[in-house]
Structure 1
Amino acid sequence: MDVRQLAAIVAIADHGTFSAAARSLYTVQSNVSGHISRLEKELGVTLVDRSQSELTEEGARVVERARRVLNEMEDITSDVSSRHDNVAGQTRIGVIGTTARWLTPSLLRQLAADHPNVRAVIREGASSSLVPNVMSGELNAAIIHLPIDEPELVVEPLFAEDLFLLVDQNHRLAGADTVPILELDDEPLLLPPTGSALRKLLERAAATNGVTLRPQAEIDGVRLLASLAFDGFGPAIVPATAIPTWLTGSFCRVTVPELPRRVVASIRRRRPSANAPTHVTLTTLRTVIEEQGEQQPGVHPDTSPLATQRPI
């Protein structure tokens, strides 16, 4: 088994066919086919169903581990080629959608200025999908929202953000700057799916105050949840970063004092440690948050226990 064989099967997984995989690897199709055949012979299984151009079950398992090996090799190269401030190489960072839209432009600009030889590959996703990708090594780090309970990960809070009620200007609550959570008792709301971290956060706050949250619809994805509220499909409770400062329209942001703040954090594996490009990217991210966090309404860069509690 060698690196070329692992690269070949990962390329097939990513690009779908032997010919497309060959183009991505800057080689010819016969080379890719040869690598796969030798790997199959060594492992004693069929990895690619040639008739369907699909990975077999065994092939998918090999790809999962092959990605990990290739990523680790890339990280070794990045670490060895990085000296002091001259950091070079690639980092793969996952980011939840609302934070990505708010922070990614500033992060990439600052990273290009401070570390021009670092290339960041950004993947947007939900916390539930980003966490296992960091643990498997597919991602070097991720920006997610808490809570998380994974002892194998290093968790560093970045900022806290308020949760707001987002309503159309014709809604009965649109005229108020602040409403008590009791006003939402049995009110039809656009809510995250049952079991999601944000839904659990909302339900705990509701239960503490004797309120029942009634879903008008359950929407998987905070950005889509906010977009539907912007378009008047129903009120929704969303984090502050889901409401960009530049966005205008027929909607109102209403404070619900009993709602807690959501804490957003970075995560990375304890072992092996993150590569040098990942470390400087996370450091740059924290600097950007400290400098620009207060400019986004409802965002609080102070993540001390007291600051993460919304004042009532």
Structure 2
Amino acid sequence: MDVRQLAAIVAIADHGTFSAAARSLFTVQSNVSGHVSRLEKELGVTLVDRANGGLTEDGAKVVERARRVLNEIEDITSDMTSRHDRVSGHTRIGVIGTTARWLTPSLLRQLTVDHPNVRAVIREGASSSLVPNVMSGELNAAVIHLPIDEPELVVEPLFAEDLFLLVDGNHHLGGHDTIPIRDLDDEPLLLPPTGSALRKVLDRSAAANDVRLRPQAEIDGVRLLASLALDGFGAAIVPATAVPTWLTGTFRRINVPELPRRVVASVRRRRPTPSAPTHVALDTLRRVIAEQGELQPGVHPETSALPGLRHDDSDT
């Protein structure tokens, strides 16, 4: 088994066919086919369904581990070329959509100024999808929202943001500026799916106030939740950054005093230690949030906004 074989099977997974994989690897199709055939022979399994296209079940398992191996090799190269002040290489960072909208432009600009030889590959997604990708090594780090319970991850809270009830101007609650959470008891709401991080926060707050949150629909995606509320489909509880500062219209942001703030954090694996590009990218991320976070309505980067949380920088 060698790196070329692993790269070939991953390329097929990413691009769908032998010919497309060959183009992505700047080689010819026969080379890709040969690498995959030798890997299949060595492992004693079929990795690619040549009749119907795509990977077999065994192929999908191999690709998951192959990605991790290839990413670790890339990180080794980055570390060895970044032994002095000049850091270079790639870092793969996931960001939840609401945070990505305001944070990513500033992060990339500052990273270009401070570390022009570092290239950040940004992936947008929900916390539920980003966390497993960090665990598997497909991502070096991610910006997600708490709570999570993964002891193999280093979690560093970055900022807190307000939660509010978002409604269209014609909604029957649209005349309110503030609503106690008890008035939402059994009110049809657009909610995140049961078990998601944000839903856990909402359910705990409701239970503490003896309130039942009734889902009109469960939506996996905060920005989609906000869009549906803005379009008049229903009322949604969303974080402040779900509604861009430039957006205008007849919608209403309604304060619900009993709702806690949502905490957004960075996560990375405890082992191995982060690559040099990942390390400087996370440093830049923290600095951008400290300098610009308070300019975002409803965002609170100050330490006092994170009660009961601490910077977890331990690798033990």
Could you tell me the TM-score, scaled by structure 2's length?
A: 0.94
1:147-162 equivalences in 2 (<5 Å): 147-162=147-162
Q: What are the residue-to-residue correspondences of 1:197-276 with 2, within 5 Å?
A: 197-276=197-276
Structure 1, 270-279 or 170-179: larger mean CA deviation: 170-179
Is 2:280 the counterpart of 1:286?
no
Per-residue CA shift, 1:168-193, capped at 9, x if unaligned? 12223323322211221221111111
Q: CA distance change for structure 1 residues 305 and 298 in 2, over 3 Å: closer, same or farther?
A: closer
> Does structure 1 retain, via aligned residues, the 8 Å contact 2:160–2:306?
no
Q: Secondary structure at the match of 1:121?
A: strand
1:56-114: per-residue Cα shift (whole Å, max 9, x none)? Answer: 11111111111111000000011111144311100000111111112111111111111
Letter paired with 2:245: T
- For residue 36 of structure 1, report the CA deviation from its aligned partner: 0.9
Superposition pairs of residues 1-312 of structure 1, within 5 angstroms: 1-304=1-304, 307=307
Deviations 1:23-49 (A, max 9, x none): 000000011111111111111111112
- Is the CA contact 2:159–2:305 (under 8 Å) kept in the aligned structure 1? no
The offset of 1:227, in angstroms, is 0.5
Would the aligned equivalents of 1:68 and 1:136 in 2 still touch at CA under 8 Å?
yes
Distance 2:17 2:306 in 1: 54
Contact 1:157 1:303 in 2 (8 A): no
Say whether the 8 Å CA contact 1:160–1:303 is kept in structure 2.
Answer: no
Q: Could you tell me how far apart the structure 1 residues matched to 2:7 and 2:265 are?
A: 32
Would the aligned equivalents of 1:161 and 1:299 in 2 still touch at CA under 8 Å? Answer: yes
In structure 2, do the counterparts of structure 1 residues 75 and 236 end up closer, same or farther at CA, with 3 Å as the change threshold? Answer: same
1:14 & 1:178 partners in 2: Cα distance? 48
Q: What secondary structure sits across from 2:223 in the alignment?
A: helix
The 1-side partners of 2:237 and 2:186 are apart by: 14
Shift of 1:304: 4.1
Q: Are the equivalent residues in 2 in contact too, given 1:93–1:122 (CA < 8 A)?
A: yes
**Equivalent residues of 1:160, 1:308 under 8 A apart:** no
* Ranges in structure 1 where 5+ consecutive residues have no aligned partner: none
Q: CA contact under 8 A between 1:263 and 1:303: conserved in structure 2?
A: no
Number of equivalenced pairs: 309
Q: Give % identity.
A: 83
Q: Distance in 1 between matches of 2:288 and 2:211?
A: 38
1:308 Cα shift? 7.6
C-alpha RMSD of matched pairs (Å):
1.5
C-alpha separation in 2, matches of 1:47 and 1:40: 6
Q: Which moved more, 1:201-210 or 1:29-38?
A: 201-210
Task: Calculate the TM-score normalised by the size of structure 1.
Answer: 0.95
The answer on whether the counterparts of 1:262 and 1:308 sit within 8 Å (CA) in structure 2 is no
- Residue 253 of structure 1, CA deviation: 0.8
Residue-by-residue CA offset, 1:258-277 (whole Å, 9 max, x unaligned): 00111100000111111011
Q: Deviations over 1:202-226 (max 9, x none)?
A: 1111121121212221111110000
Give the distance between the partners of 2:174 and 2:216, measured in 1 at CA. 18
Secondary structure of the residue that 1:72 maps to in structure 2?
A: helix
